Amino acid sequence: MMVITLKPGTTEKGIEHVVEKIKELGFTPHISRGEERVIIGVIGENAIRSREIFEAMFIVDSVMPISRPYKLVSREFKGETTVVEVKDVKVGGNEVVVMAGPCAVENREQLLEIAREVKKAGAKILRGGAFKPRSSPYSFQGLGEEGLKYLAEVSMITELPVVTEAMDPRQVELVIRYADMVQVGARNMQNFDLLKEVGRSRKPVLLKRGMASTLKELLMSAEYILSSGNYNVILCERGIRTFEDATRFTLDLSTLSLIKELSHLPIIADPSHATGKRSLVAPMANAAVAAGSDGLMIEVHSRPEEALSDGFQSVTPPDFHKLMKGIRSIAKVLGRKA
Amino acid sequence: MMVITLKPGTTEKGIEHVVEKIKELGFTPHISRGEERVIIGVIGENAIRSREIFEAMFIVDSVMPISRPYKLVSREFKGETTVVEVKDVKVGGNEVVVMAGPCAVENREQLLEIAREVKKAGAKILRGGAFKPRSSPYSFQGLGEEGLKYLAEVSMITELPVVTEAMDPRQVELVIRYADMVQVGARNMQNFDLLKEVGRSRKPVLLKRGMASTLKELLMSAEYILSSGNYNVILCERGIRTFEDATRFTLDLSTLSLIKELSHLPIIADPSHATGKRSLVAPMANAAVAAGSDGLMIEVHSRPEEALSDGFQSVTPPDFHKLMKGIRSIAKVLGRKA
Amino acid sequence: MMVITLKPGTTEKGIEHVVEKIKELGFTPHISRGEERVIIGVIGENAIRSREIFEAMFIVDSVMPISRPYKLVSREFKGETTVVEVKDVKVGGNEVVVMAGPCAVENREQLLEIAREVKKAGAKILRGGAFKPRSSPYSFQGLGEEGLKYLAEVSMITELPVVTEAMDPRQVELVIRYADMVQVGARNMQNFDLLKEVGRSRKPVLLKRGMASTLKELLMSAEYILSSGNYNVILCERGIRTFEDATRFTLDLSTLSLIKELSHLPIIADPSHATGKRSLVAPMANAAVAAGSDGLMIEVHSRPEEALSDGFQSVTPPDFHKLMKGIRSIAKVLGRKA
Amino acid sequence: MMVITLKPGTTEKGIEHVVEKIKELGFTPHISRGEERVIIGVIGENAIRSREIFEAMFIVDSVMPISRPYKLVSREFKGETTVVEVKDVKVGGNEVVVMAGPCAVENREQLLEIAREVKKAGAKILRGGAFKPRSSPYSFQGLGEEGLKYLAEVSMITELPVVTEAMDPRQVELVIRYADMVQVGARNMQNFDLLKEVGRSRKPVLLKRGMASTLKELLMSAEYILSSGNYNVILCERGIRTFEDATRFTLDLSTLSLIKELSHLPIIADPSHATGKRSLVAPMANAAVAAGSDGLMIEVHSRPEEALSDGFQSVTPPDFHKLMKGIRSIAKVLGRKA
C-alpha cells in the first residue's frame, strides 16, 4: 500500500482523475480529506511499483509507501487524530468524553434514572447492553430489541447519544436503527464478518480490544472496518488477560498510550470491565485520562447489588459524580476538558 | 440444574411422563440415552427445589444436583465419554482419529492430491478452510462456497468426511450443506450467536478453544451448543497465548487432560496451529496422544513454501506418514488404535 | 496470627508485660507504634486460641485475628499508610517521591552529571545500579564496589539519598555501607534468603514486584522482610509479563491501586522498565501518579544512545524536567505534592 | 563468539597451542571434547574478527561464528546432546531418567521409605528438598542441613544419587558436600550469583525454568553456568504461568521440544509442580516422554494428605509404579528405555 498526498488546493476534478487512475491499475482508493490537503490511500499488492505514475502528476505532492501491516488506521497514513462524531459529540478532540450507563438495560425506569444521573454528572454518551455476551447460556442474555427501544426513547428524553453492542452480523441493521454508535465487544474483536458488516454501515463503531489481542491485532481489526469504508472507529482498551487474578483483567494503559502514537484513531478506556472491582474504577479512570485516553466507558448502576449483570464493578451515581470531578481536574491539567 | 437417572428398563412412556412433568414445572428437559439407562437433565433456576417430586416417582432411580457451572457437558451429567459420529467415523471411542488436510482450500487439484495422501497415511477426516479468519483484511480470505464445493467433491472421491469452518451464523446453513462437521474457530469460541446457530443444527461441531479462554469458558461455550439441542460436540485444544514467543502459542496438554476428567465430550489437539513450527508438529502430536487426546488435527501441504496461508506450520505428506506411524505406536501402547 | 491493640496511653511497662506473655506462650511479637496507639502482632500457629488471655488484660483494647495470608504488611494489621524514611526523604506520605538516575553507574562523571540534573528537576532520591542483573553473562555486569563508591560520593555532593540493588545476600552488608536504601530486583523477589538478609538490616528496602508475581506473592515477599524485623519496605510495580510484546512489560496500575487498599506499605511505579520505550515513560508516569502511586522510579541518561544498559528506555534530562512538571501538576490535583 | 573445530587426531599439544593463542588475543577459551573431535569456543567481543588467524592453523578444520545470543549451550556450538553423569546415572543419553521422591525431606524414616519405593519402581535418582522456597515466611522452610544428612544417608543405603535445591550462594558448598546434583529452582533461575556459584563447582546442576521465563532466558541462565566452567547442566521444564487457573502452571512441552533442537543440553520435565494435581501427573509424564524429554522429576509421598508441603500434587508409591510402567512403554516405542 501507499499514500498519495495531493497539493493544497487540488480540485474535485483533480481528485477524481487520480482516483480513476488508481482504479484503472486495479487498486482500491481510500480518500481522506484533511483541513488543507487530501490524501489518498492506494490498496493492492505491489501498489508501490506504480509509484512513478502518480509522482509524475502535477497535482501530486508526494507518494509514500506504508510500511506497517495496518495501513488506513496508521499515523503514517494520516497524521492528525481522527475526530469521530457520535451525533453531536466529538470523540478524539480536546474533550475527554465519558460514556456511562448500566451494564445491561434492565427496564425503562432503571435506564432513564441512570441516564439522567450520568448526564447530570457530565457523561456525554449513554451506554447500555441490549444484547449481552455471557459465558453461560443460563445467564441473562439481555432484553434484545425491547432494550434497544428503551435506549432510543431514553436517548430522546435525555438527548444523550447511545452506544450499544451488536454481537451478530444479522443484528447490525437493527442496532443501527436505534443506536448512535455500535459496539463490537472484546469477544468479537476478531469476528471478521461482524467487522465487515459494521464497516459497510456509516455509523460510528466502538471497537473493544480482545482480552488476548495484541496492539497489532486490534489495529488490524480496525483496518477491517476502515477498509470496508467506515472511517468512524473509536478503539477501546478494556483490560487483557494475564496471570494476575486479583483484578478481573489487567488494564493495559501503556498499550493505549502506544496506540495513540501509531494510529490516528481515538481510543478510550473501560476501567469497569478491566478491574471488575468498584473501588478501582475511579483510580483507573484517573490513570487512563492521565495516560492520554480520549474518553472513558463507565458502568453505573443505582443499586449495583441488584444488577442483572456485573453489579460488582458498577459504581453508584454519587460515586460517578465524584469520579467525574476527579477526571475533570486531571483533564484540565493536561489542557483538555471533560 | 439437576440430573434425573431413570431405572434400567424404563419404557418410552415412562420417559415421556417425566419429561411432561419437567415441562409442566417450567423447566427444560435434556435427554441422554446410555446403553443401559436414560438420564434426563433438568435446566431451570432452582430446579433442585422440585427434587422430591421426581424422587417420589417409581421409575426414577436418583435425582442429583449438578454443582458445576457447566451442566450438560459435565461428567456429573454423563459418566461415559460421548462418541460423536462424523459420518461413519467415531470420535471419542477407542480410536485416535486424525483429521488432516491443507490450512486453506486453494484449488481442486491441491485438495485432491493432499486428501489422497493423508488418507493413504491413515487420516480419517479431511480438513480444509473455505472461509479463513485472517487478522489482516488484505490476506487471502478463502475461496468461500467454491472451496466448499471442492471439499464436497473430494470427500465423495476419497470417502473422507470433511470438517470446515463457519465464521458467521449466516454461513452455517451453507457450510452444513457441503460438510460433515462444522468447525467453530478459536476466535469465535465466544461468538455466542454462532454457537446457538450450530447448536440448532444437528451436524457435529468441532469447537476450538479460544486463545485466551479458560477450561471453564470452553466448557461453557460447549454448553451453549448442547443446550441448543446439539449433543455432537468435539472440543479442540489448539494452544493458548502466553508470554513465550518461541512458539506461536503454548499447547496446553494439562488442560486437555483435565477436561477429559471433567467433561464427557471428546477432545482433540491441534499441534500445527499451537506450535506454528513444522518441526514441532510430530513431537507434539505424540505428546497429545500420550496425554489422552481423542484425536489430532494436522495441517498438511504438498508444497508448504507455496501455501496461501500458514505454510510455515504445514508438514509434507512424507512427514505426515512418519507422524502417523509415530502416533499409531503410542496409541497402541495406551490400548487405543490410530 | 492476631493483632492486639493496646489502649491509648499504655506505658512501656504495660507493653513489655504483653510482649512477655506472648513470648511465654511460644509466639513471636511484632510491635508497631502509631501516633496514639501501640499495636502488637502475634505470630505463631493457632495464636488466636490464646485470644482470651489477652482480652482479659486491662490495657488491651481489642484482639483481632488476621484473615489474610499476609499479616504484618496488611491494612488489617495497620490501618494508616507507613511512611518510610530514606534519610530525610519521606516515602508514603503526602509527597510523590521521584527516584531518578542512570540504569547503571558507568563512571563518576556520568553519575554526577545526571544526579545534578535530576536533583534540579525535582528528584529526591538518586538511583543507579552497581550490581546489574543481566540475562546474558556476556553483558556489562556493573562496576560493583567501585560503582557503590561513586554513588556514595555523588550522594554526598548532591545531598540526594541513594538507592541501589543488591543481588546476593553476601552483598547486602557492602551495599548498606554505601547506600541509603537497598533494592531487591524483580528477578529476586522470591530470593528468600536475600529477603531475610535485608530483613535483618534496618535500612529501607525497595522491593520490586517479580515479572510473574501476583499481588499476593509480592505481599508475602514483603512479609518475609517485615517478619525478619525490618518494617521499612517500599513496594514497586515495574510491569508484568504478558503476551503483549509491543511494550517490554505491562505496567499493572490496577494492582498497584489494589495494593494500596490491602497493605499499609507505600508503593511506587517504575514506568521505565515497564514500558521499555522512552516515549511511554512520561504518560505512564502521569498515569501512575493519577492511580495513587507514592512515587516513581525513572531512568535518566544524558546520552541514552551511549548507555551501557537499557538506553532505549532512558529519558534525557530535558525530557525529565518536562516529566517532573507533568506529574507535579497531577499530584497537585490529587492534593499531593511532587 | 566463534567455534573452532579441530581436525580429528589433533594432539594435546596442538590443542594447547590454540588455547594459548586465544588467551593471547584476550579471549576466553571453552574446550569441549567429543568422541572424535575437539571443539573450542572463543568468547569475547568481536572474536570473529580474529577468524583468519585460526583458519590459517594446520590443525584447525573450521572456524564458525555463533549467531545466537546463547553460545556454549547452543547446538551450533556442539551438535550432539550432552550426557550429564550424576554419579553413575547418565542423563541425556538413551535412557529416560526418572528422579523421584518427596517434595520436602520431613524425617529419616519418611525419606527412606519413599526412596526404597521409588527405587523399586525404577527411579534412578532421589529428589527431596532440604531448603524449601516457600512464598510464606510462616510455612515449613525445610530441615536444612539435617535434611541434607538424611539425603546422604538414604542415598548410601539405597545407592540412589541425590538431587536437592540450593537457594542461596552461601549454601552451595554445603549442599554439594551431601548431594550429587544441585538444583536451582524456578524462582532462582535468574539469581545470577547463585548461577555463578554453581558454575564454579563441577557438580551437575539441575536448572529449572522460571515460571515467566522464555526459552531464550532459560538458555542464557544455563550459559551463565557453562561460561563459569561447569558444563554439567540439565534443564527442567516445570510449567509457566498463564491465565489458566485450572492447573497450577501450564506445562510447556512445545518449548521443551524446541529446546532440544536449539541446545545440546539434556532437558527433563516436572509434571508434579506444573500441574499441581495428582491425577494429571501420569498423563503429563506420558506426554513429556512422548515429546522427547530426557527425564522426569516426580513427587512421591506415602501419605500425601499428611505431607508438609505440596501434598496435593504428590502421587503415592502404587501410583508411581503404574506411572513408571506407562512411561516405560512409551519410551520403548520411541527407541529409548526408562
pLDDT value for A306: 85
Give the containing element (helix H, strand E) for D86.
Answer: strand D84-86
Chains that touch C (3 or more CB pairs under 8 A): A, B, D
Average pLDDT over residues B120-136: 96
Residue at grid coordinates 450467536: B193
Residue C116 distance to chain D (closest CA, Å): 32
Question: Does residue A311 surpass a pLDDT of 80?
Answer: no
* Residue A325 sits at the chain C interface (C-beta within 8 Å): no
What phi and psi, each to the nearest 5 degrees, are found at residue B152? -65, -40
Residue A256 distance to chain D (closest CA, Å): 21
* Residue A137 sits at the chain B interface (C-beta within 8 Å): yes
Inter-residue contact C94 to C49 (CB < 8 Å): no
Q: State chain A's mean pLDDT as an integer.
A: 94
* Higher pLDDT, residue C41 or D118: D118
* Residue C58 sits at the chain B interface (C-beta within 8 Å): no
Inter-residue contact B42 to B2 (CB < 8 Å): yes
Mean pLDDT lowest among B53-62, B102-111, B249-258, D303-312 = D303-312
Q: Estimate to the nearest angstrom the gap between the alpha carbon of A107 and the chain centroid.
A: 26
D211 neighbourhood in chain B, CB within 8 Å: none
* Residue B64 sits at the chain D interface (C-beta within 8 Å): no
* Residue B240 sits at the chain D interface (C-beta within 8 Å): yes
CB contact under 8 A, D221 and C135: yes
CA distance A315 to A312: 8
* Residue B252 sits at the chain D interface (C-beta within 8 Å): yes
* Residue D261 sits at the chain B interface (C-beta within 8 Å): yes
* Residue C61 sits at the chain D interface (C-beta within 8 Å): no
Q: State chain B's mean pLDDT as an integer.
A: 94
CB burial of residue C5 (10 Å; 0-12, 13-18, 19+)? middle
Question: Which grid cell is B202?
Answer: 444437528
- Shortest CA distance to B234 belongs to which of B275, B168, B294? B294
Least CB-CB distance to B291: which of D255, D286, D292? D286
Mean pLDDT lowest among B61-70, C88-97, C125-134, C161-170 = B61-70
pLDDT value for C149: 98
pLDDT above 70 covers a percentage of chain C that reads 100
pLDDT value for B24: 92
* Residue A250 sits at the chain B interface (C-beta within 8 Å): no
Interface of B with A in 178-217 (CB under 8 A): 187-188, 190-194, 210-212, 216-217
List all residues 6 or more positions away from C68 whose beta carbon is below 8 Å from its beta carbon: C74, C76, C262
CB atoms near residue D175 (< 10 Å): 26
List all residues 6 or more positions away from D87 whose beta carbon is below 8 Å from its beta carbon: D161, D180
What phi and psi, each to the nearest 5 degrees, are found at residue D153? -65, -45
pLDDT per position as a tens digit, D41-92: 898 888 888 899 999 998 999 898 887 888 899 998 998 999 999 999 999 9
B257 neighbourhood in chain D, CB within 8 Å: 280, 283-284, 287
- pLDDT-derived band at B119, boundaries 50, 70, 90: very high
pLDDT per position as a tens digit, A279-288: 999 999 999 9
* Higher pLDDT, residue A40 or B37: A40
pLDDT value for D69: 85
A246 neighbourhood in chain C, CB within 8 Å: 214-216, 255, 258
Q: Find which of A28, A191, A225 to mutate to test the B interface (most B CBs within 10 Å of its CB).
A: A191
Least CB-CB distance to D280: which of B251, B258, B284? B258
CA distance B256 to B239: 10
Inter-residue contact A27 to A44 (CB < 8 Å): yes
pLDDT value for D45: 81
pLDDT value for C335: 95
SS3 of chain C: the string is CEEEEECCCCCHHHHHHHHHHHHHCCCEEEEEECCCCEEEEEECCCHHHHHHHHHCCCCEEEEEECCCCCCCCECCCCCCCCCEEECCEEECCCECEEEEECCECCCHHHHHHHHHHHHHHCCCEEECECCCCCCCCCCCCCCCHHHHHHHHHHHHHHCCCEEEECCCHHHHHHHHHHCCEEEECHHHCCCHHHHHHHHHCCCCEEEECCCCCCHHHHHHHHHHHHHCCCCCEEEEECCECCCCCCCCCECCHHHHHHHHHHECCCEEECHHHHHCCHHHHHHHHHHHHHCCCCEEEEEECCCHHHCCCCHHHCECHHHHHHHHHHHHHHHHHCCCEC
Q: Which of B6-20, C100-114, D67-81 has the highest mean pLDDT?
A: C100-114
Inter-residue contact B2 to B64 (CB < 8 Å): yes
CB atoms near residue D16 (< 10 Å): 10
CB contact under 8 A, A242 and D243: yes
D286 neighbourhood in chain B, CB within 8 Å: 290-291, 334
D244 neighbourhood in chain B, CB within 8 Å: 214-215, 240, 252, 255
| 3 state SS of D21 | helix
Question: Does residue A309 surpass a pLDDT of 80?
Answer: no
Average pLDDT over residues A247-265: 97
Question: Does residue C35 surpass a pLDDT of 80?
Answer: no
CB contact under 8 A, D193 and C167: yes
Inter-residue contact A125 to A99 (CB < 8 Å): yes
pLDDT above 90 covers a percentage of chain B that reads 80
Question: Global pTM?
Answer: 0.92
pLDDT per position as a tens digit, A260-280: 999 999 999 999 999 999 999
Comparing alpha-carbon positions, the chain D residue that sits nearest to C69 is: D136
pLDDT per position as a tens digit, A131-168: 999 999 988 899 999 999 999 999 999 999 999 999 99
Inter-residue contact C163 to C99 (CB < 8 Å): yes
Using the 8-state DSSP alphabet, how is residue B104 labeled?
B
Inter-residue contact D289 to D248 (CB < 8 Å): no
What phi and psi, each to the nearest 5 degrees, are found at residue A28? -110, 125
CB contact under 8 A, D246 and B216: yes
pLDDT value for A310: 75
CB contact under 8 A, C246 and A274: no
Q: Find which of A175, A192, A223 to mutate to test the B interface (most B CBs within 10 Å of its CB).
A: A192
Q: Estimate to the nearest angstrom the gap between the alpha carbon of D152 and the chain centroid.
A: 20
Angle ∠(B230,B233,B237) on CA atoms, nearest 5: 155
Question: Does residue C46 surpass a pLDDT of 90?
Answer: no
Question: Does residue D268 surpass a pLDDT of 80?
Answer: yes
* Residue C322 sits at the chain A interface (C-beta within 8 Å): no
Comparing alpha-carbon positions, the chain A residue that sits nearest to B197 is: A168
CB contact under 8 A, B137 and A220: yes
pLDDT value for A176: 96
Comparing alpha-carbon positions, the chain C residue that sits nearest to B249 is: C243
Residue A244 distance to chain D (closest CA, Å): 7
Residue D263 distance to chain B (closest CA, Å): 14
Average pLDDT over residues A64-76: 88
CB contact under 8 A, A212 and B212: yes
Count of A–B CB contacts within 8 Å? Answer: 80
Q: Find which of A213, A242, A243 to mutate to test the D interface (most D CBs within 10 Å of its CB).
A: A243
CA dihedral of C50, C55, C56, C59, whole degrees rounded to 10: 130
| 3 state SS of B317 | helix
Question: Does residue A32 surpass a pLDDT of 90?
Answer: no
* Residue A287 sits at the chain C interface (C-beta within 8 Å): yes
Q: State chain C's mean pLDDT as an integer.
A: 94
pLDDT value for A179: 98
pLDDT value for B44: 85
* Residue D245 sits at the chain A interface (C-beta within 8 Å): yes
What phi and psi, each to the nearest 5 degrees, are found at residue C31? -95, 135
pLDDT per position as a tens digit, A180-225: 999 999 999 999 999 999 999 989 999 999 999 999 999 999 999 9
CA distance C9 to C280: 51
B211 neighbourhood in chain A, CB within 8 Å: 212
A135 neighbourhood in chain B, CB within 8 Å: 190, 216-217, 220-221
pLDDT value for D1: 80
CB contact under 8 A, C289 and A284: no
Comparing alpha-carbon positions, the chain B residue that sits nearest to A240 is: B212
Question: Does residue A65 surpass a pLDDT of 90?
Answer: no
Q: Please give the ipTM for the structure prediction.
A: 0.91
Residue at grid coordinates 477524481: A16
Distances (CA, A) of D28 to D11, D15, D24, D40, D228: 20, 14, 10, 10, 11
pLDDT per position as a tens digit, D165-223: 999 999 999 999 999 999 999 999 999 999 999 999 989 999 999 999 999 999 999 99
A133 neighbourhood in chain B, CB within 8 Å: 190, 192
* Residue D335 sits at the chain B interface (C-beta within 8 Å): no
pLDDT value for A48: 85
pLDDT value for B199: 97
* Residue B82 sits at the chain D interface (C-beta within 8 Å): no
Q: State chain D's mean pLDDT as an integer.
A: 94
pLDDT value for C232: 97
CA dihedral of A143, A146, A151, A154, whole degrees rounded to 10: -120
Distances (CA, A) of B251 to D253, D269, D318: 7, 15, 30
Average pLDDT over residues C197-219: 96
Count of B–D CB contacts within 8 Å? Answer: 123
pLDDT value for D122: 98
Distances (CA, A) of D155 to B99, D116, D160: 49, 10, 5
pLDDT per position as a tens digit, A289-301: 999 999 999 999 9
Comparing alpha-carbon positions, the chain C residue that sits nearest to A262 is: C246
Inter-residue contact A110 to A80 (CB < 8 Å): no
| 3 state SS of A326 | helix
Strands A162-165 and A181-184: parallel
- Which neighbouring-strand residues pair with A183? A165, A206
* Residue C250 sits at the chain B interface (C-beta within 8 Å): no
pLDDT value for B124: 98
CB contact under 8 A, B228 and A137: yes
